[in-house]
């Protein structure tokens, strides 16, 4: 074994300096890997350099393994409250830990929806005792609260405002252009946007043919629906210099126009859109491949990869949106859109790194550094003295077969089941405590609410 987990049980020793020592790993510091050790005290990084193991209460020997700043998933749907038969914060964050994720941002389309301070605080109260990872929650924009968004976005624990321009899962919707403009005018923090044009979706839905099954989903929610919506966002983001963040971009047309976006705008793509492609994914998975916006053909997928290579893409997010197996087995269009992903996002992306589709340094930017820059997260995203002791430890040579039975999500499945990948998280450290080691959850939940600048 290259990795050894040791307890120094004599906690009364006078020379104990650190609660935890990460010994002899390849640590990512200042854009390069350095063979060194890290000393952790009270959830913070207090030392980087040579460490005597006997100065530590606990140590983790990490010979030749990669120690990375904790990875962050800024788009998950954990369904609590109201939809906990599909998922909840406890199972969702366990799934995140197993996937090497130390911090999550959860979306507002729960039941009731997170549209005010009361519902936001309700989620924070639930997460305080149940979340294995650090957490923050979006507030959803709607007609009822649109004039209050500037006040709501400042509440402690709020990641920002989420806008659904096209109807998806849940009741939140900002479909009228005047409401979109007002929201983008008022909001000063990051605004995460599901970008599909509701008017076009409504028109095209009238002509769908259910007999064609789930492949009709792709024809209904076509690339033009996404493009029209994103053009509107660009228009008002430029006008008001809004920090607009386009979620799960799925088309090559959007990626081309976003290449020259204003500096305040940012872009997310998902591993699903980078890995699965139509028509094969629908032939193999049926409605289990159904999500909004849809998985599209190879031409669009190639466009998304170009966006990663040229720097248009800022973030990789899972869009973890689980439904039960029985729900997903319904005949289209009665089958719900969305799939789990928080546990598989990093492994899938590490597999792409091993296939030379992107570098590990680029992945660190997309899943750790950039989320912190974009959302102005305090003390995360880098391995520095004084920063939070959140780490994702990686074995780039470890091969794993992804299987439904190993998914911690309540939904119990993954669209990548049966896929063998190379590169895997072997430890997840949250607030200075080892919470996942070799696919096993350790201790009790210790997640904290995210602190923003």
- Hey, which residues are catalytic here? 319
According to DSSP, the residues that pair with 137 across neighbouring strands are 106, 158
Give the C-alpha separation, 95 to 163, whole Å.
26
DSSP assignments along 120-146, one per residue: HHHHHHHHHHH-SSEEEEEEEP-TTTG
From the list 24, 16, 20, 26, the residue with the least C-alpha distance to 45 is: 20
**Cα end-to-end span (Å), the chain:** 41
Q: Is 253 helix (H, G, I), strand (E, B) or coil?
A: helix
- For residue 135, the cross-strand partners are 104, 449
Omega within 30 of 0 (cis) for the link into 279:
yes
What gap in Å lies between CA 65 and CA 26, rounded to an integer? Answer: 6
- Nearest-angstrom CA–CA distance, 425 and 311: 25
Distance CA 377, CA 375 (A): 6
What are the residues facing 56 on neighbouring strands?
A: 18
How far apart are the C-alpha atoms of 105 and 76, rounded to whole Å? 6
- Of 123, 153, 125, 124, nearest to 141 (Cα)? 153
């Amino acid at each position: 074994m290259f990795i050894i987990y040791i307890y120094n049980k004599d906690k009364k020793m006078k020379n104990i300096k650190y609660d935890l020592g990460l010994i002899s790993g390849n640590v990512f510091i200042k854009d390069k890997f350095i063979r060194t050790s890290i000393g952790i005290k009270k959830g913070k990084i207090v030392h980087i350099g040579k460490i005597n193991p006997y100065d530590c209460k606990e140590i983790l020997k990490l010979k030749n393994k990669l120690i990375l700043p904790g990875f962050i998933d800024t788009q998950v749907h954990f369904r609590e409250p109201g939809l906990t038969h599909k998922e909840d914060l406890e199972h969702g964050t366990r799934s995140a830990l197993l996937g090497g994720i130390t911090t999550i941002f959860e979306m507002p389309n729960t039941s009731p929806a997170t549209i005010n301070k009361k519902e936001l605080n309700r989620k924070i109260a639930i997460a305080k005792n149940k979340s294995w990872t650090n957490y923050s929650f979006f507030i959803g924009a709607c007609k009822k609260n649109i004039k209050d968004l500037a006040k709501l976005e400042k509440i402690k624990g709020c990641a920002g405002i989420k806008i659904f321009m096209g109807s998806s899962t849940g009741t939140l919707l900002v479909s009228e252009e005047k409401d979109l403009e007002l929201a983008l005018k008022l909001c000063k923090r990051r605004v995460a946007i599901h970008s599909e044009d509701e008017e076009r979706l409504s028109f095209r839905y009238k002509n769908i043919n259910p007999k064609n099954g789930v492949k009709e989903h792709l024809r209904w929610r076509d690339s033009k629906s996404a493009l029209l919506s994103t053009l509107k966002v660009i228009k008002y983001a430029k006008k008001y210099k809004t920090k607009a963040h386009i979620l799960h971009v799925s088309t090559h047309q959007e990626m081309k126009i976003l290449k020259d976006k204003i500096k305040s705008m940012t872009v997310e793509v998902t591993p699903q859109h980078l890995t699965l492609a139509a028509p094969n994914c629908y032939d193999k998975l049926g409605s289990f491949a159904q999500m909004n916006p849809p998985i599209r053909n190879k031409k669009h997928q190639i466009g998304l990869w170009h966006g990663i290579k040229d720097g248009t893409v800022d973030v990789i997010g899972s869009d973890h949106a689980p439904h039960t197996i029985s729900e997903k087995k319904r005949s289209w269009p009665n089958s719900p859109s969305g799939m789990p992903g928080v546990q598989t996002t990093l492994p899938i992306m590490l597999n792409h790194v091993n296939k030379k589709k992107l570098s590990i340094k680029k992945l660190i930017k997309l899943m750790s550094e950039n989320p912190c820059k974009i959302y102005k997260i305090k003390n995360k995203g880098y391995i520095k003295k004084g920063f939070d002791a959140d780490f994702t430890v990686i074995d780039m040579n470890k091969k794993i077969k992804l299987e439904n039975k190993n998914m911690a999500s309540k939904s119990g499945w993954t669209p990548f089941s049966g896929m063998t990948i190379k590169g895997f998280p072997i430890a997840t450290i949250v607030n200075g405590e080892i919470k996942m080691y070799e696919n096993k959850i350790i201790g009790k939940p210790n997640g904290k609410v995210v602190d923003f600048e």
